[in-house]
Amino acid sequence: MKRLLALVMCLVLLPVSPAQAGSTIRNPLNGSADPTLTYFNGNYYLATTLGNRIGMWRSPTLAGLATAPETTVFRDADVSRNKQVWAPGLYRFDGRWYIYYTASDGVDANHRMYVIESAGDDPMGPYHFKARIADHGEYAIDGEPFVHNGRRYFTWSGPGRGRSGPAQIYLQAMDTPWSTTGARVALPASGGCDEVREGAVSLRGAGRTFLVYSTCDTSKPDYQLWMKSITDGQDPLVPDNWIQHAGPVFWRNDAAGVFGPGHNGFFKSPDGTEDWIVYHGKTTSEYTSAGRTTRAQKFTWNADGTPNFGRPLALADTVVPPSGDPWASQDPGAARGYVVGEEKQYFDRTPEDALGHWWQQPNGTLRHDTWGGSLIAGRPSGFRHGTEQHAFARTPDGRLRHLWWTPGVGVRSEDWGTGLAGDPTGMVSVNGQKHVFGRAPNGTLAHWWQEPDGTVRRDNWGGSLVGTPTAYAFGDEQHVFARGTDNSLRHYYWYPKIPDNLPAVDDWGAVGTVHSDPTGFAFGRQQHVFYRTANGTVEHRFFDHSEWKVYTENWGGNLVGTPFAFRHGPTQHVYGRGVDGALWHLWRQPGTSVQAQNLGGTLTGDPVGIAFRGEQHVFSRSADGSLQTHLGTTVTPWPGGQIAP
């Protein structure tokens, strides 16, 4: 939030929001066609055909793309190339991002291919126009680069519709990410029809490169994908080196109500273990290009090393999120519990003042170990970043300790320096920086961050706070909420273009009413914060960016300690310890009133919750000091060390 225009104290129902990430995904992800999608530094990035601009959608979860706001990253003022803007392709070369696209002056026959370049290593830009690429004086569309034998090549479709014969796939070597060199080569390509060959994109397999392309008229229900491949070591500019695979590899599925699937892209799951295809399809067999929407699904590999894309899924089918997708649990702030791949993770301080780690393997086995030999104080916090697990803790002498686990490497530890008097919290920002916040000895907000190259920096955001703050990213912004010394709700924030690059703080009110540490999350265009009041009820404040207002409401309850809030899909959840020692659950779905349930059990500490597929798991300390999880009213003790009170 750049500035606070109004503080509105009223009881309201939250605006109804479309479903976002939860236990499963339902297509479509976007209402347009010709998608390109990638995962980078904790976020998915999607671009589609918009006609007069290049727009981008960003989300830490795949399903969240469906309701993420569009950011226009490029709009051209040149009238010779700012109309009929089609088919963006997003690629990263040498630490910069490039978007390849097709545009014209409004006359289809004048379509040519262009490329824009990012100013830095952020897929959201800013971008500037770089060049017209592979211009041979005739109609050209759907340009995409690919790498084979360590060298870049460019592929596109031409010479154009309305001429004799089908559109042709061409290849040419690239000398820079924005230019081609040498002669172009026509690549014969089968397609089951005498029409287009377009939208060719590459896919790396074991020892070879696949070129997957769309055939037939995009308005027909038989628009589909075909494939060629070339083995490593062979020259792609020699057409005979390519193998033509027989028949379509992805085509209409009448039984599922999917027609015209094509113009695809490929992306990896966040943990790098799965391959996914993104494409557009429509729900009608009529001849029309209207109604095409972006969909995504996982694919596998055959024993012979060729991809198996399966059949296009119906829009009613549910899709398990990609491996490593956070499923909107703690999105995207830090907590003592989080999900990494198929495993539930939890960190806490043991009675010996060590960092205890509990996790559940995919087969249900519960495990426990201790990270590092350093002593810690208070409660740790952490987050996942790709396939890595990160934990942060305060040492007894007030230093910030960073411990992290990497597959194949194990646990490592480093000291981020002195100046921490409270428990840490943090986030991963969109540029890959790891941020940690905590109360300094003088009551101000201390801030550490680590650059992607490992360099640790720090500053101080000022203010006067007590307890432990909560922090999360909101797009490219950083937001921290804390309890002031007057029991008010304090809001610290930073964004890339803030004046003088200095963080700011404003007051969300609630003077005298905040009697626990805050907890919260970002959701669509809203920021949400919850806390316990003096009489034990849960108060909820949220900022709506569409209306530029802060709203407040009371969810009721009778709690002690600090509650924990997260969302699971579009539903907001708060778990807390009741005055009776039981676990209480308050939640609200869009358009409904708040509901509450006593889940029983005995808690001797504040709970922490996570979303895991269709389930919500809550961690807490039991009466005997051991770790327990709650799944509804079922309480399961976890083996291993005790938790410090």
Residue 61 in contact with residue 331, Cβ under 8 Å? yes
34 assigned to active site: yes
Do you find a cis peptide bond into 332, omega within 30 degrees of 0?
yes
Q: Which of 34, 271, 325, 606 is catalytic?
A: 34
Interacting residues of 455 by C-beta distance below 8 A, sequence separation 6+: none
198 assigned to active site: yes
- CB burial readout 108-139, b (16+ within 10 A) else e: eeebbbbbbbbeeebbbbebeebebbbeeeeb
Catalogue the E-assigned strands of 76-196.
83-93, 96-104, 112-118, 127-132, 141-148, 151-158, 168-176, 179-187
Sheet holding 595-600: strands in order across?
A: 559-568, 571-578, 583-588, 595-600
The residues pairing with 397 across neighbouring beta strands, listed in sequence order, are: none
Neighbouring CB atoms inside 10 A of 303's CB total: 6
Q: Which of 122, 144, 195, 198 is catalytic?
A: 198
Nearest Cα to 350, choosing from 26, 44, 621, 42? 621
The whole-angstrom separation of Cα 562 and Cα 580 is: 15
Q: How many residues appear in the chain?
A: 645
- CB burial readout 347-360, b (16+ within 10 A) else e: bbbbeeebbbbbbb
3-state class (DSSP) for residue 255 = helix
Amino acid of residue 245 = H
| CA distance from start to end of the chain | 37
Do you find a cis peptide bond into 145, omega within 30 degrees of 0?
no
Amino acid of residue 422 = G
The upper half-sphere exposure of residue 428, i.e. CA atoms within 13 Å in the direction of its Cβ, equals 23
The whole-angstrom separation of Cα 541 and Cα 376 is: 33
> Cα-flanking dihedrals φ and ψ of residue 489, to 5°?
-100, 115
The whole-angstrom separation of Cα 546 and Cα 65 is: 18
The whole-angstrom separation of Cα 39 and Cα 57 is: 12
The DSSP string of 33-67 is: SS-EEEEETTEEEEE---BSSEEEEEESSSGGGGT
Just list the catalytic residues. 34, 198
